[in-house]
A and B are shown apart, each in its own frame.
Chain A
Amino acid sequence: MKNIPISALIGLFFTALYFLGAIFAPLLAPYGVGEVVGDVWEPSSADYLLGTDNIGRDLLSRMIYGGRTTIFIATAATVLSFTLGSVLGFFAAVMGGWIDQALSRFVDLVMSIPTLIFALVVLSVAPVTIPMLILVMGLLDATRVYRLARAVAVDIEVMDYVEAARLRGEKTAWIIFREILPNALSPLIAEMGLRFIFAVLFVSTLSFLGLGVQPPEADWGGIVKENKEGIVYGIPAALIPAFAIATLAISVNLVADWVLNRTTSLKGGRG
């Protein structure tokens, strides 16, 4: 674990900070998430480090709890999309023929509808709960992962070692998880960093539009929405979650880059 480049260290530090903040939110937050503790839009002070929001709640506490919700939803959606997308993508590549055709054309169909509009339509009909959000985001994102996983696996699938496994009589599950997956990991991890950030942005967008996390629960997109009028009066409350989203995006990608470099230069890596 030595020789970690400085960029990765910075990325690791901030990513860890955000995730730890999310995990230990109840211990870290000075006030409750919905607790009104002061005046509207108070400036930062010793009591309220980041000031207060549009109805006088402590912004720092809101940010910590909001980060917890945002990161949890984004992580869960990413895990769902990767599990589903890559397994189906590998499966399609290994099976070929009509199974591949059917899956791929279905994915094309879903991808032809703009994601945000699709999500808005579904969420305006279905009950907006956190599991529902995760499910919708995960399924929509899985189409992107599917395409990548299939493209990578099609290349690996024609290698002699996969043919050797087939001739040995191995089952499809072994070929997918033992022969293809380890060799497809590098591009998938790189994609994962990106997809996680897209998920953060997506859930924030939905909340900003009012179809994401519902009040009194907090999330970063929701905090921007609540405090957006403040900008007119020079109150920076809406910019703080935006800043948090940007730094999280950059730091996660710095980590993903580093992981990618490490896995490709591992013993036995490609090239």
Chain B
Amino acid sequence: MSDTLLKVRDLKIGATIYPPGERPRDIEIVHGVSFDLAPGKVLGLIGESGAGKSTIGLASMAYGRGGVKITGGAVWVNGRDILKGSHKDIRKLRGAEVTYVSQSAAASFNPAKKIMDQVVEAAVEQKKFSRKEAEARARVLFAKLGLPDPDNIGERYPHQVSGGQLQRCMTALALCPEPDLVVFDEPTTALDVTTQIDVLMAIKEAIRDTGVAALYITHDLAVVAQVSDDIMVLRMGNTVEYGNVDQIINDPQEEYTKALVSVRSIEHEEKAPTEEPVLSVRNITARYKGTQFDVLHNVNVDLYPGQTLAVVGESGSGKSTLARVITGLLPPREGEIEFAGRKLSPDLKGRSREDLRELQMIYQMADVAMNPRQTVGTIIGRPLEFYFGMRGAEKKKRIIELLDEIELGEKFMDRYPAELSGGQKQRVCIARSLAAKPKMIICDEVTSALDPLVADGILKLLLDLQKIEDVAYLFITHDLATVRAISDNIAVMYQGKVQRYGGKSKVLSPPFDDYTDLLLSSVPEMKLGWLEEVIAHRKMESAGN
């Protein structure tokens, strides 16, 4: 027994669904999953959204979130079956033997209490340490996790530290009571790539130094490969493949795992700049209303017809603001925009219907970019009606054509957005913008809310459509793998300035400036030992640190 800390056998988890117009019924969302975890080891749980990975993670604390019930199987922690334990036994377990690190530290900390009070709470409550001992231990952990000023950072409130620091505070919170097992639920997903590395390294070292075992839940195989000993691939509540990290990454057996490992295999030849640019942004400086701070400084970029310009940067670099300026939602303070050979009015109100038609936009969150009360047919049909005056059969024919182009087909016409998956929703948004026959589409982080395989499909679709419709994309993203896959030109943005700009091969080959180097080296690679190499190689601290 001593060599297994956590033993999960045939775990089954169910939930109740409430389909409209029908009686509520019970469904099973995890169908008998089994695994073992030895002390000091890390097991990575990986899968797309809906795979059941978080549910399994929480079940190892005997917890079912939001009406989820554990319906079968057994979970042993330190030799005890915790599912059979009383309420009191479970209270003793949580926060003492097993702790939890959630995805969004910002949403999980109480903003009204100091960080230290929250970090030591569980340890003191569980009588593991006295308040004084717990605080001393917290300071040691802050230092170990690389937080600045470890002796005093606990006196700050959660909003006074950055997102990456807060995520590390949360790791300290989880480690403070000296647990045997920590469940990490997507701890780095909400962070920028450059910050993600620091947090990842801190977590990895903390796990190694404290000898704690961990369940590491994520959808990013490259990340999990850096920290885990074993990996379990999950899909729709079933185990697809379970083995040690070396075997999963280098010798995957199942088709699904192979697809995950080889994702982002799109090849795109860079095109040389042609004739006149379709969009040319000249010396744009912009700030938000009521602030005294420029978020864009003297930005200059060009986009050529039928090509893709990728705008890359971390959050806060001004890339989405640039999109708002181009669309006219935020008139710039200085500079001008030329589009299709004419000068664009800085304000949305001053633009002609032709300007609006030729410049379309696709959003990050497809769910809120479509009116939930309109059918797919109405959503795609409206631009046809609005710009081209199409009616009746002619409109219907064109909608079906567009639905075929996005590989969905006619049967989707009468569906509501709520009846589509994430990838299908994004496809409908693409069709809506194509319906206007635009010269250029702004794609604002269109794949970042999607699972890797689905995102891959969307990128392929966008590239195919570019060939057919000869449309130019301004592609805003923080994900360099996406940039490599689709761009012709790249603009790297940092703190509101264009740091590096040019053709893809030029931007992505040395010599690099320090920021581009940091950004490029921070993209997780599907390779063991990558994390250590990167940390050794770094020249510059990330902005979120």
A residues touching B (Cβ–Cβ < 8 Å)? 3, 159-161, 163-164, 166-170, 178-179, 182-183, 265-270
Contact = CB atoms under 8 A, between A and B. Distances in A.
Interface stretch (B199-207, B274-282, B414-422, B490-498): B414-422
B476 to A, nearest CB: 14
A119 B20 CA distance: 44
Interface stretch (B337-345, B367-375, B524-532): B367-375
Contacts of A178: 371, 374
B371 A265 contact: no
B353 interface: yes
A268 B420 CA distance: 10
Contact of A183 (B360, B371, B386): B371
A41 B435 CA distance: 74
B236 interface: no
Interface of B: 18, 20-21, 327-329, 348, 351, 353, 356-357, 360-361, 363, 365, 368-374, 382-383, 386, 416-419, 432, 436
Contact of A167 (B361, B370, B373): B361
Contacts of A169: 351, 353, 356-357, 386
B365 A265 contact: no
B438 to A, nearest CB: 11
Contacts of A179: 371
B20 A164 contact: no
B416 A267 contact: yes
Contact of B372 (A163, A167, A269): A269
Nearest to B379: A161
B418 A267 contact: yes
Given A3-B21, A160-B368, A268 B416 contact: yes
Given A168-B356, A169-B353, A268-B374, 4 more contacts: A159-B368, A167-B360, A169-B357, A183-B371
Contacts of B329: 163, 166-167
Contact of A268 (B348, B351, B373, B386): B373
A164 B372 contact: no
7 contacts: A161-B371, A168-B356, A169-B353, A169-B357, A169-B386, A182-B371, A266-B20
Contacts of A269: 20, 372, 418
B359 to A, nearest CB: 8
A160 B436 CA distance: 18
B378 to A, nearest CB: 9
A101 B255 CA distance: 60
A163 B369 CA distance: 8
Contact of B356 (A161, A167, A265): A167
A83 B374 CA distance: 22
Contacts of B328: 167
Contacts of B372: 183, 268-270
Contacts of B436: 168
A178 to B, nearest CB: 8
A93 B92 CA distance: 51
B365 A160 contact: yes
B373 A168 contact: no
A164 B373 contact: no
B418 to A, nearest CB: 5
Nearest to B429: A164
B383 A183 contact: no
A1 to B, nearest CB: 10
A213 to B, nearest CB: 40
Contacts of A266: 20
A160 B383 CA distance: 16
A167 B20 contact: no
Contacts of B374: 178, 182, 268
B368 A167 contact: no
Contacts of A166: 329, 348
A268 B327 CA distance: 29
Nearest to A162: B371
A266 B418 CA distance: 10
B370 A161 contact: yes
B166 to A, nearest CB: 26
A160 B369 contact: yes
B363 to A, nearest CB: 5
B386 A168 contact: yes
Contacts of B365: 160
Closest 4 CB pairs of A and B: A268-B416, A182-B373, A160-B369, A169-B356
Given A160-B369, A265-B20, A167 B348 contact: yes
A71 to B, nearest CB: 31
B363 A164 contact: yes
B368 A168 contact: no
A163 B365 CA distance: 13
A170 B432 CA distance: 15
B356 A268 contact: no
Given A169-B356, A169-B386, A268-B416, A164 B369 contact: yes
A161 B416 CA distance: 14
Nearest to A182: B373
Contacts of A167: 327-329, 348, 356, 360-361
A150 B386 CA distance: 27
A241 to B, nearest CB: 39
A265 B432 CA distance: 26
Contacts of A170: 386
A189 to B, nearest CB: 14
